[in-house]
Amino acid sequence: MSGCFSRLANKFSKGKQDGQKGPPPDPEPNDESRPSASESGQPDGVASSGESLEKQTPKDRWREAFNGLSEEKREALKKLGFSDEKPGPMGSSIKDLAGTVKEKQKACEDKFLKTKICGKEIVFREYTADIVSWIEKAGNIAIQFAPPQASLPWDLVKNLMKIPVNESEQMGALLLTTQVVVSITTRCQVYEHTYLNQIAEDSLGAAQSQLEKRLIDLYKTSLDLLAKSGSLLSSGTPRRIVQAIVNPGKAKDSLDNLGKQEDDLLKDVQACEVGRSATADKRSNEMLELLQAPMTRVDEGVSKLLTHMDEKEHIELLERISAIPFGEHHDEVSEKRTPETGDWLVEHKNFDHWKENDSSLLFWLQGDPGSGKTYLTSKVIDAMKDRISYPLKNEGLAFFYCKRDDNPRDNPLAILQSLVRQLSTTAKSPKSIQTELREVCILARERGSNFRFDQCKSQVLRSLNIYERTTIVIDALDECEPESRDELIEALQFFIEESKNPVKVFISSRPDPVLKNLLENSPNVGIQASDNQEDIRKFINAELIKRTKARPFLETLKPKIIAKLLERCQGMFQWVSLQLHQIGKSSSEDSVYECLDSLPKGLEAAYNKVWREIEGQRDSDRTLTKRALLWVMSASKPMTTDELLSAIRVNPIESLSLSGKIDEEGLLSLCNNLLVIDSQLKVWRFSHLSVLEYLQQKQDWNLPHAHCHAARACLSVLSAIYEKVDPEAGLDPSDHSKEHEILDPTHPFQRYARHHWILHVQGTRTAEETTLASQLKAFLGSPDVSSLHYQRWYQHIVLEGIDIPRTSVFYRAYWVSTPEIAPQNVALFAMCRFSFDSILRDWWEDTSFQLTHVSMGGLDLLATAALGGCRPICKRLVERGMDVNATFDASVTSCGSILTIAAYHGHVELVKYLVQAGADVNKVLRSGYYGNALDAAAKCGHIEIVRSLIQAGTDVNTLFEVGSSGSVLISAAVEGSLENVKIMVQEGKADVNLMPPRGVYGSALAAAASRNHLETVKYLVEKGHADVNLVLETGFHGSALAAAASGGHLETVKYLVQDAHADVNLMLQTGRLGSALAAAASGGHLETVKFLVQDGSAEVNQSLQCGDSGTALMAAAESGDARILEYLISVNADVNQKVVRRIGGSALSVALSFGYRDCVAVLEEAGAKDL
């Protein structure tokens, strides 16, 4: 978009941080003080002389729009106060309107707070404040610049605001209409002045004529809407008002249509902006800067960074970033939340302070187990959704529901990956994605990797700096992995401290001293979830209404039940839910009284009571109940009803034995409210985390025990099925005709067992391994010769191809491919790849087997074990004589060596062992994607491994012939891991100006600049003393500045030029671009081009010595960007400059050869000749 808009965005961002307001209004000017033609900034040959312009009468486009309305609408507007008389001074009209709005604001505060329209919460205070803000901007603009007839819409809006309203929905419709019309009117009067008001009608160019047509159409729609709103508001029919005005639809006078028209208008605004002179008048620029509105539509920081994608590619890319169904998790909680609960939280003064404060702030909601924190969090998420979606705001929102022992929902990396996905685009452009993020995703896909922790932090921060404001909501932070939870908290603190724009972080958790220590250094406010008695009352009442349908006698007891439960609940929803379940089983009033008289004290006592009832069940029922609890505790993914009802029938012994069938309702009844079915995902879960915690306190109810039970059941059914079925003998994986028969291969539980038995074996610990070991050995056969069961299982996995569960070890996220454990007749590869170590200790210690096996993937046993990261198995194989320095061809693995494999996969302890065992840390690889183990660790951002390998003596200045980087420092710089860069420079003494003989980037500084890692760039320059004017010998760019310019990374370009004093006109010797200006022009980055010319004094006619273009103008022509051509021509680029060594020799010949008609037209209009 325009340079003015760019300056506007920067100024607005700075103003927000400094707490500055817009400039005070100047005294209203007389006619003589209006800008002259020489100041107007119009394209050459368009503006008349200053003298003739002063005599022109400004065109009244609002009047023209009014005249184009139907007679009915014109009459309605006259009733609203429209007059044929010449309007009064605009300043007074705006002043009157401001007073009317403030009166309405007071009425809102006295009578209304908010309402819901079309499912969206409308907070009146926010709307009136926004309207007042726009009116103030309009006043400043009008007093300095605007023609008098612009008072027309303001008078109409003022009279609309004076219509008395008695319903909250009426007020909501009134404020919505006013907010949209006022903001659009303000922006449009700026567009009129800047692009149209100084031009005679017969002198309008094509772009100006199109803009004028769009403006008049937009004015007509605005007047239509005002007329319709006035009539409907006066009629006092709130529901009809909402349907007619607010709901998006086909009505030409709806708010939705008005927004779409403005989107179209902005395209014409951009076209006119390109045509403005580089020396545009100061007053026009100042007026544009007065529009300090946080609007996505005029914020280049968003629009230029988004790339539209087709639906399939977009979904695939988002799923690659994070496949966690965060929306379903929210919907499941939100739907179960009792209506009108949680209001106390979002209306609390502390919450309001957190939400409305202009600075970044953390809010911590604390509460004991079962107090309803998750439901309160869902209320916050719904409130934030409403805030940003209607009216549409340029704000980001991301949320996550943590869940203990439910991988990956308890994994900090998975949480950050989900945040990256949710902040990848704006609410206004749901089918787009940040351009740079798309490129990173494509690169990761090519490398077979995904976002790592530091990458996620950097990407989230980039997103935060795009949005005007962002809200991040994390529920149940205490359920995140304790070992790495502090990393997530530090990341949240990092966002609060480093974001240029406000970021609001909301977390809920139990009171936790560790969290308290970590969070106390961040600015935060908070409250206790125990302030929830009224919510619990509503919950009890709603539940009793449901239960009275089956037990009418409960109706008369409701007051007593509610009073008793509120008295004893101690703020715990879960305790109340358990008691309501007990009361719901009562068959008489007396039994209800017995329940109320024997209420347990606290949550643990309530669970003890439930457990006693389970222990009192019949043997067969108790067995099914406990199996269900064990399965839900250990399941690799939440289990469906078909999976769970079948799983609990399996007796976990070697020979398959099945219990009788049970249905869904029967199991729910047996589990006594300890298990529930997720309404969204249709899977089984514990009713509350405290259920799992209660069970884990019991003997033999730990997670390894549950995994052992699951592993034995899986192996039992797999052994039974593959005893009878040969997958290659006519098995059709798509045949689901017998899917309800548990021993059919297509049954859902068979599929679960087939893909998850490995994970359950891995989850078993020493105490349970003895029980499982014999069953596992029977299934595998022997190390050198596998069993028939195992071979048929492998065949079945291969036949399924990519149609596998996401939680399978063979799904792409786990990076296990079937060739890694083939051939199928050798079980050793599965033993190595899946780290079956201590459970098969006697095989590893006492059984002889061949060490010369090579998998179908081309790896030996030691390399396969390195993939799995199992140090003990690798140690056993090395002790048996395997070579730690074995290398592999690129056709086998991208890593090239065993140490590199371990480093790439982040196996810290294994890397340390292999080094101790004699692995050569300086072994330079001749094939693959990585030059050595340190290069792999650097590219993957594994900080501890990078430090360990440097301490072990790895030379950080080694140059490589393979991979895209050429050196380890370049690899670290590309990935943006500032910590790794620091380690290499400070501890490894890396040469920051080292130039590799090959590679994409040419130097570490160019690598960081090309990927827009500004902090890394600053460190390399300021601490590493990188030469910003180093002329590179290899790579695509030729210099660090050209690398940044090529990607349009304006902030990095500014830093290199303004702070690091990079030479803008440095003559490059290699690369495809020739100069920084040509690089920016070739990439279509208009703002970067403008900066290099205006602030960096770039020579627009410099003849280039290398690259494809020859001149910056030719680079623009080759890119097909007419905007940049127009700009370069406006700053005296020579359209007929000839480059002898270039075929075609001129910008025009280039544009002609590519068929860019718009570029050809621009060049020919400027006098270019086909040389």
Tell me the pLDDT tens digit for each residue of 99-124: 777 676 666 655 555 565 554 555 56
Select the more confidently predicted residue: 357 or 93: 357
Mean pLDDT of the region 1148-1152: 89
C-alpha dihedral, 478 to 943 to 445 to 974, nearest 10°: 130
Total residues found in the chain within this entry: 1171
Select the more confidently predicted residue: 428 or 1080: 1080
Q: How many Cβ atoms sit within 10 Å of the Cβ of residue 193? A: 24
Output the pLDDT for position 86: 55
Each domain of the chain, given as residue ranges in start order, spans 3-22+59-296, 306-529, 781-882, 1031-1165
pLDDT at 288 over 90: no
Instruction: Please report which confidence band the pLDDT of residue 32 belongs to, taking 50, 70 and 90 as the band edges.
Output: very low
Joined tokens for residue 507: 């977390």
Q: Which of 247-261, 925-939, 971-985, 1053-1067 has the lowest mean pLDDT?
A: 247-261
Q: CA 102 to CA 424: how far, in whole Å?
A: 38
Query: What would the pLDDT profile of 922-952 be if each residue is shown by its tens digit?
Result: 999 988 889 999 999 999 889 999 999 999 9
525 strand-pairing partners: 363
pLDDT at 163 over 70: yes
Select the more confidently predicted residue: 277 or 1150: 1150
Output the pLDDT for position 50: 40
Query: What would the pLDDT profile of 357-383 be if each residue is shown by its tens digit?
Result: 888 889 999 888 888 899 999 999 999
Query: What would the pLDDT profile of 494-547 be if each residue is shown by its tens digit?
Result: 999 888 889 999 999 988 777 777 666 655 666 666 678 889 999 999 999 988
pLDDT at 153 over 50: yes
Largest CA distance in the chain: 105
Contact (Cβ atoms closer than 8 angstroms) between residue 1013 and residue 1050: no
Mean pLDDT of the region 1031-1056: 94
Output the pLDDT for position 275: 62
pLDDT at 36 over 50: no
Output the pLDDT for position 55: 45
Q: CA 258 to CA 335: how far, in whole Å?
A: 33
pLDDT at 22 over 60: no
The architecture CATH gives domain 1031-1165: Alpha Horseshoe (1.25)
Average predicted confidence (pLDDT) for the chain: 81
Instruction: Please report which confidence band the pLDDT of residue 15 belongs to, taking 50, 70 and 90 as the band edges.
Output: very low
Output the pLDDT for position 815: 54
pLDDT at 404 over 60: yes
pLDDT at 1155 over 90: no
Q: Which of 281-295, 514-528, 780-794, 832-846 has the lowest mean pLDDT?
A: 281-295
Q: CA 426 to CA 428: how far, in whole Å?
A: 5
pLDDT at 1052 over 60: yes
High-pLDDT (> 70) share of the chain, %: 77
Joined tokens for residue 504: 């609001």
Output the pLDDT for position 49: 38
How many alpha carbons lie under 13 Å from residue 907 in its C-beta half-sphere?
A: 23
pLDDT at 850 over 60: yes
pLDDT at 279 over 60: no
Mean pLDDT of the region 731-740: 50
Output the pLDDT for position 601: 92
The architecture CATH gives domain 306-529: 3-Layer(aba) Sandwich (3.40)
Output the pLDDT for position 39: 37
Output the pLDDT for position 528: 67
Q: Which of 22-26, 220-224, 1103-1107 has the lowest mean pLDDT?
A: 22-26
Q: What are phi and psi of 974, to 5 degrees?
A: -60, -45
Mean pLDDT of the region 970-988: 94
Query: What would the pLDDT profile of 532-570 be if each residue is shown by its tens digit?
Result: 888 999 999 999 998 888 899 999 999 999 999 999 988
Instruction: Please report which confidence band the pLDDT of residue 471 belongs to, taking 50, 70 and 90 as the band edges.
Output: very high
pLDDT at 881 over 70: yes
Output the pLDDT for position 193: 75
Mean pLDDT of the region 778-803: 92
Contact (Cβ atoms closer than 8 angstroms) between residue 294 and residue 390: no
Q: Which of 85-99, 425-439, 1148-1162 has the lowest mean pLDDT?
A: 85-99
pLDDT at 777 over 80: yes
Q: Where are the beta strands (DSSP E) in 756-905?
A: none
Residue 660: what residue type? G
Output the pLDDT for position 219: 86
Mean pLDDT of the region 315-340: 89
Give residues with Cβ within 8 angstroms of 649, minimum separation 6: 624, 658, 659, 660, 661, 662, 742
Max mean pLDDT range (716-725, 841-850, 1135-1144): 841-850
pLDDT at 305 over 80: no
Output the pLDDT for position 816: 66
Instruction: Please report which confidence band the pLDDT of residue 1171 belongs to, taking 50, 70 and 90 as the band edges.
Output: low
Taking the mean position of all CA atoms in its chain, how far away is CA 987? 35
Query: Which of 1046, 1071, 959, 1060 lies closest to 1017 in space, CA to CA?
Result: 1060
**What 3-state class would DSSP assign to 561?**
helix
Residue with tokens 């590179």: 1032
High-pLDDT (> 90) share of the chain, %: 46
If DSSP states are collapsed to H, E and C, what string results for 435-503?
HHHHHHHHHHHHHCCCCCHHHHHHHHHHHHHHCCEEEEEEECHHHCCCCCHHHHHHHHHHHHHHCCCCE
Joined tokens for residue 703: 């997670």
Output the pLDDT for position 107: 65
pTM: 0.66
Instruction: Please report which confidence band the pLDDT of residue 62 belongs to, taking 50, 70 and 90 as the band edges.
Output: confident
- What's the CA angle centered on 302, arms 296 and 303, to 5 degrees? 85
Contact (Cβ atoms closer than 8 angstroms) between residue 1074 and residue 1116: no
Instruction: Please report which confidence band the pLDDT of residue 606 belongs to, taking 50, 70 and 90 as the band edges.
Output: very high
Output the pLDDT for position 53: 38
Q: Which of 91-95, 343-347, 872-876, 884-888 has the lowest mean pLDDT?
A: 91-95
Q: How many Cβ atoms sit within 10 Å of the Cβ of residue 643? A: 22
Output the pLDDT for position 1170: 73
